[in-house]
Structure 1
Amino acid sequence: MAERFDPAGRRVLAVCMTAGFTTLLDQSLLNTSVPALRDSLHAQPAQIQWIVAGFSLAFGLALVPGGRLGDVRGRRTLFLTGLAVFTGFSLLSATAAHPWTLVAARLLQGVGAGLVNSQMIGTIQDVFGGQLRARALGLYAVTGGLATALGPPIGGLVLALAGEHDGWRLTFLLNVPFGLLTLVLAARHLPPPRSSTGHPDLDPVGLLLVAALTLVVMVPFVLPPGGSGAVAYLAAAGALTALFVHWQRRYVRRGRHPLVHPALARSRPFALGTVVAMAQFGSSIAAGLVLIMFLQDGLGMSPVGAALVSLPAPLAMGISSALAWRVVRRFGRHTVTAGMALSAAAMLAGGLVALRTPEGSLPWALALVQVFVGIAVGLVNAPNQAAVLRHAPAEAAGVGGGILQMSQRIAAAVGVPALSGIYLRGAAVAGGEGHRAAYFQASATCAAVAALAVLVAVFAARSGGSPSAGEGEPTARSAGTVRAPAGRGA
């Protein structure tokens, strides 16, 4: 008989889902409002780039430090602090009178969202185990799908009702009631803060090196196109990586507690599963953006029409994420591999459909393909997360979750400009009907990335990195660590 969430576990999960929905809805709302805020604030292209991408940059920067702080100092206080920062600077974003004020507010919103999300993953790790953890991660993924699906139509409705001049401000204000409600729920229902490490060692040098490495990797993709210095960024990333590895080994030899727990550093399944997560997240995010570009630029559809064609993907993802734990119980380690294979096939099918389907039927055909894209993401996302985080010891649950999420953000930062560049170059060279060929090229590239991830998933499954029925407990849990009782009801 399947385990069920007890009342305390359900309340903790509700807080995590509400916070996830609040922070993830923000970005999908903003994407709809960019043209309106650009015209209202007379923003330059570089400022728009920072308004849109600065949030993701700050979000990624906050994940690993937030996870480490949560592991060492406890998660509840950081959760509340991050949510308060996100909510407060959402209000500043809504009232900004200058583009750079909005840039600053968006950066601080991203820091708050990163703190919140690192505590959510750590809290789920702390509170739930086994199949309950896989189900909790699946439900957390459902909130992401709903936020992605509902953001564009909600943003479009707000702009239609309030007008474009001030409507974009209301899209930021929507974060405030959601944030305040979540603050109240979190203060009442999250477990009290306590360290899961048993030591106060933050490894500040390790944190600084990770922050610098994240900046060096992500900043080139946040800056407007046409910049230079790619080789310098690459060399800096290599040097920082080598320095970080050296520092972590030295820290262990001194008898201290490094940022990356030795169990994570030695875990092949953790590394392979993280690669799968990066491939899945980066390819699916990039494919979704290229689809919207093709629908609007290639087929001349309105933003609302394009959003409706892409809507089946997040909806199907939400449903399959909620049901993925049942598939894992039956098929075990093959679930993630099959999901990645379906993702590769669906992306390739989308490209072929764009080449061969008459224009009148093409939006319907692409919407059907998006159903399978969403199912594939749901089958991979939560089961792979559960499998990867199973190898994170309790004292490194927050850092493990932060590394996983940060890796996904980096993959998206790399994949989005790369795939959109393939599409734009192909469309510019061919012109006219060339949009179809360009979309096929971009889709085939995404499919190739997903196909390579299938091979990695096979290796991960063979090394114990994919979940099987009844699995889900961490393999390295420190002695004396007691799991919170929530969620362990029969």
Structure 2
Amino acid sequence: MKRSTADPAPAAPRERFDAAGRRVLLVCVAGGFTTLLDQSVLNTSIPALRESLHAQPAHLQWIVAGFSLAFGLALVPGGRLGDVRGRKWFFVAGLALFTSVSVLSATATEPWVLVAARLLQGAGAGLVNSQMIGTLQDVFDGQLRARALGMYAVTGGLAFALGPPIGGAVLAAVGPEAGWRLTFLLNVPFGLATVALAARWLPRPRPSARHADLDLVGLLLVGALTLVLMLPFVQPPAWTGWLAFAAGACLLLGALAWWQRRYARAGGHPLIHPALTRSAPYALGTAVAMAQFGSSIAAGLVLAMFLQDGLGLSPIGAALVALPSAMSMGVASALAWRVVQRFGRRTVTAGMVASALVMLAGGLVVQWGPTGALPWLLAALQLLGGAAVGVMGATNQAFVLRHAPAEAAGVSGAILQMTQRIAAAVSVSALSGVYLRATAGGGGHRAAYAYASAVCAAVAGLAVLASVYAGRASARDGEAPAAGVDATPEAPAPGVREDAAPGGGR
């Protein structure tokens, strides 16, 4: 029978991974899970390692924030080295570094040793992840590439979800002293197995004749700027010191902008391509991603400390309070495409509004709620907050990369991920400093948590404004306000060249 023109077209057949593709995908997913699980497990262990190492607030800030800082700074140069020299052995080297330093972290007897180990772990994790996403883009095309990148995104969410209960279970099983050390050693068997599989299954490196243009000056300027933003919170100065740090940040920001333009005019590949800053939707969307990622990571850390130090919950109890956030985030991420098809970019703004309100409500509940009900109330808010982030996170990423200028499309995804990690480093330093010093000053855990939550809500509020302006800028660029964008985790990053890899030139 002749098919009516009104009938829907038959669906395209679903492509399948071949045996070699499945092996590559397994290695990349295992590498991502191993490196991304580390941060979420650590949050639950912070009170235990603080007591064991007699760590000061500054030590704790560097232990947590140093990982994100080194992770972010390693992404772009790692990706470019992989572009030119081949990815396989950089992947192996990064994971071997991450795994071996995990043993150093687990056996640390002084806080500064753990700080140094976390910086090295972050650098190894950044090197691994830049090669991993690049490998997926090198090996797969079309629908298979979208599915492979989607599985990498889901792996990150799974690692985030499993980290707190795993950390809590380990500490409950063996006690706080041995428990926090064992959480670092969890990386070792996964890392060793993945290193062996990567050496055997990843594609042979295909070096390029191109020069590895790393823009070390740009990288140093970004690192210096991040440190200037972090240090006032690690070691708070007098008011004149705050002014000096603010002036230093402005000078470094100006120097970075000047150097990037100069380096691009000289024919180099700058760390942050000037075309990215000239695209208002990309720049504003990146600001939204930074504020969302930074405030979420910092809020999770402060919550873990409050539940254990303020309410006296066990590590496993604290993990169970945080678990609804990760679960609802995963569900919401999977359903986000349905929401964005109807509401378009407004989904991002609505998600950020909901996230800011949840953070504010958390502070109010802790300040005024009955002690016995606080774990239940906070768990309910975690459920709502995770859903809000799940709906807007992947959606915002899709919109941001869609507006990456063509001449900077290859590096746009890596810059987005790098800025998020740097935002996490600064936010964790600031918010943990706010919480730890407020409790040390005798203000009480409740007041400290309420204050930290208000700061997180304010940061999320700034993201709401950036999202509104990003929507207006997108409309000026010709994007319909409710345009359907495939924002599921399985969608390939819009604006990324078919032959480009993250950090080289996601």
Normalising by structure 1, what TM-score? Answer: 0.81
Deviates more, 1:449-458 or 1:244-253: 449-458
In structure 1, C-alpha distance between the alignment counterparts of 2:334 and 2:67, rounded to whole Å:
28
Tell me how far 1:377 sits from its aligned partner: 1.2
Which letter maps to 1:338? A
Residue 448 in 1 paired to residue 461 in 2? yes
User: Which of 132, 148, 157 is the matching residue for 2:160?
Assistant: 148
Alignment correspondent of 1:7: 17
Distance 1:42 1:126, change over 3 A: same
Distance 1:412 1:63, change over 3 A: same
In structure 2, C-alpha distance between the alignment counterparts of 1:39 and 1:348, rounded to whole Å:
30
User: Which of 226, 232, 250 is the matching residue for 2:262?
Assistant: 250
Tell me how far 1:220 sits from its aligned partner: 4.2
CA offset digits 1:126-155 (Å, max 9, x no partner)? 566778766655543433333233223322
Structure 1 residues 323-472: aligned runs within 5 Å: 323-325=335-337, 327-328=339-340, 331-351=343-363, 353-354=365-366, 358-392=370-404, 399-419=411-431, 438=451, 441-442=454-455, 444-445=457-458, 448-459=461-472, 461-462=474-475, 463=477, 468-469=484-485
Tell me how far 1:278 sits from its aligned partner: 0.9
Structure 1 residues 28-39: aligned runs within 5 Å: 28-39=40-51
- RMSD of aligned residue pairs (Cα, Å): 4.0
Q: Is the 8 A contact 2:59 2:115 kept in 1?
A: yes
Tell me how far 1:296 sits from its aligned partner: 4.5
Q: Is the 8 A contact 1:134 1:382 kept in 2?
A: no
Distance 1:138 1:346, change over 3 A: farther
Q: Percent identity?
A: 66
Determine helix, strand or coil for the equivalent of 2:213: coil
Q: Is the 8 A contact 1:263 1:391 kept in 2?
A: no
Gaps (5+ residues) in structure 1?
Answer: 484-490
Q: Is the 8 A contact 2:352 2:463 kept in 1?
A: yes
Tell me how far 1:60 sits from its aligned partner: 2.7
Determine helix, strand or coil for the equivalent of 1:258: coil
User: Which of 157, 170, 190 is the matching residue for 2:169?
Assistant: 157
In structure 1, C-alpha distance between the alignment counterparts of 2:409 and 2:171, rounded to whole Å:
41
Residue 55 in 1 paired to residue 67 in 2? yes
Distance 1:354 1:209, change over 3 A: closer
Which letter maps to 1:277? A
In structure 1, C-alpha distance between the alignment counterparts of 2:12 and 2:318, rounded to whole Å:
40
Distance 1:92 1:436, change over 3 A: closer
Determine helix, strand or coil for the equivalent of 1:311: helix
Q: Is the 8 A contact 2:94 2:128 kept in 1?
A: yes
Tell me how far 1:197 sits from its aligned partner: 10
Structure 1 residues 171-210: aligned runs within 5 Å: 171-194=183-206, 200-210=212-222
User: Which of 104, 123, 126 is the matching residue for 2:116?
Assistant: 104
Tell me how far 1:371 sits from its aligned partner: 1.4
In structure 2, C-alpha distance between the alignment counterparts of 1:42 and 1:298, rounded to whole Å:
18
Tell me how far 1:176 sits from its aligned partner: 0.8
In structure 2, C-alpha distance between the alignment counterparts of 1:3 and 1:464, rounded to whole Å:
32
Alignment correspondent of 1:486: none
In structure 1, C-alpha distance between the alignment counterparts of 2:232 and 2:28, rounded to whole Å:
32
Residue 283 in 1 paired to residue 295 in 2? yes
User: Which of 8, 12, 23 is the matching residue for 2:35?
Assistant: 23
Tell me how far 1:372 sits from its aligned partner: 1.8
How many residue pairs align between the two structures?
481
Which letter maps to 1:208? L
Deviates more, 1:188-197 or 1:243-252: 188-197
Q: Is the 8 A contact 1:55 1:110 kept in 2?
A: yes
Normalising by structure 2, what TM-score? Answer: 0.79
Distance 1:374 1:137, change over 3 A: farther
Tell me how far 1:46 sits from its aligned partner: 4.5
Deviates more, 1:340-349 or 1:113-122: 340-349
In structure 2, C-alpha distance between the alignment counterparts of 1:171 and 1:234, rounded to whole Å:
37
In structure 1, C-alpha distance between the alignment counterparts of 2:277 and 2:224, rounded to whole Å:
19
In structure 2, C-alpha distance between the alignment counterparts of 1:121 and 1:237, rounded to whole Å:
32
Q: Is the 8 A contact 2:61 2:428 kept in 1?
A: no
Q: Is the 8 A contact 2:62 2:429 kept in 1?
A: no
In structure 2, C-alpha distance between the alignment counterparts of 1:136 and 1:325, rounded to whole Å:
18
Which letter maps to 2:16? D
Determine helix, strand or coil for the equivalent of 1:179: helix
Tell me how far 1:348 sits from its aligned partner: 4.1
In structure 1, C-alpha distance between the alignment counterparts of 2:438 and 2:57, rounded to whole Å:
23
Distance 1:287 1:91, change over 3 A: closer
Q: Is the 8 A contact 1:134 1:386 kept in 2?
A: no
Distance 1:434 1:84, change over 3 A: closer
Distance 1:237 1:144, change over 3 A: same
Q: Is the 8 A contact 1:80 1:187 kept in 2?
A: yes
In structure 1, C-alpha distance between the alignment counterparts of 2:162 and 2:500, rounded to whole Å:
39
In structure 1, C-alpha distance between the alignment counterparts of 2:444 and 2:277, rounded to whole Å:
48
Tell me how far 1:38 sits from its aligned partner: 4.3
Distance 1:408 1:302, change over 3 A: same
Which letter maps to 2:171? L
In structure 2, C-alpha distance between the alignment counterparts of 1:341 and 1:3, rounded to whole Å:
39
Tell me how far 1:358 sits from its aligned partner: 4.7
Tell me how far 1:326 sits from its aligned partner: 5.0
In structure 1, C-alpha distance between the alignment counterparts of 2:354 and 2:74, rounded to whole Å:
33
CA offset digits 1:27-52 (Å, max 9, x no partner)? 23333334444454455554444333
Alignment correspondent of 2:77: 65
In structure 2, C-alpha distance between the alignment counterparts of 1:154 and 1:185, rounded to whole Å:
24
CA offset digits 1:148-177 (Å, max 9, x no partner)? 332233223323333444333322211111
Q: Is the 8 A contact 2:286 2:416 kept in 1?
A: yes
Gaps (5+ residues) in structure 2?
Answer: 1-10, 502-506
CA offset digits 1:435-456 (Å, max 9, x no partner)? 7865774565355334324424
Deviates more, 1:370-379 or 1:190-199: 190-199
CA offset digits 1:379-432 (Å, max 9, x no partner)? 222232233334557986674333222322232333345455666788879769
Deviates more, 1:137-146 or 1:243-252: 137-146
Structure 1 residues 268-279: aligned runs within 5 Å: 268-279=280-291
Alignment correspondent of 1:488: none
Distance 1:41 1:254, change over 3 A: closer
Determine helix, strand or coil for the equivalent of 2:267: coil
CA offset digits 1:252-275 (Å, max 9, x no partner)? 333333333354343322212211
Residue 91 in 1 paired to residue 103 in 2? yes
Distance 1:275 1:123, change over 3 A: farther
In structure 2, C-alpha distance between the alignment counterparts of 1:264 and 1:39, rounded to whole Å:
45
Distance 1:103 1:439, change over 3 A: closer
Q: Is the 8 A contact 1:321 1:379 kept in 2?
A: yes
Which letter maps to 1:233? F
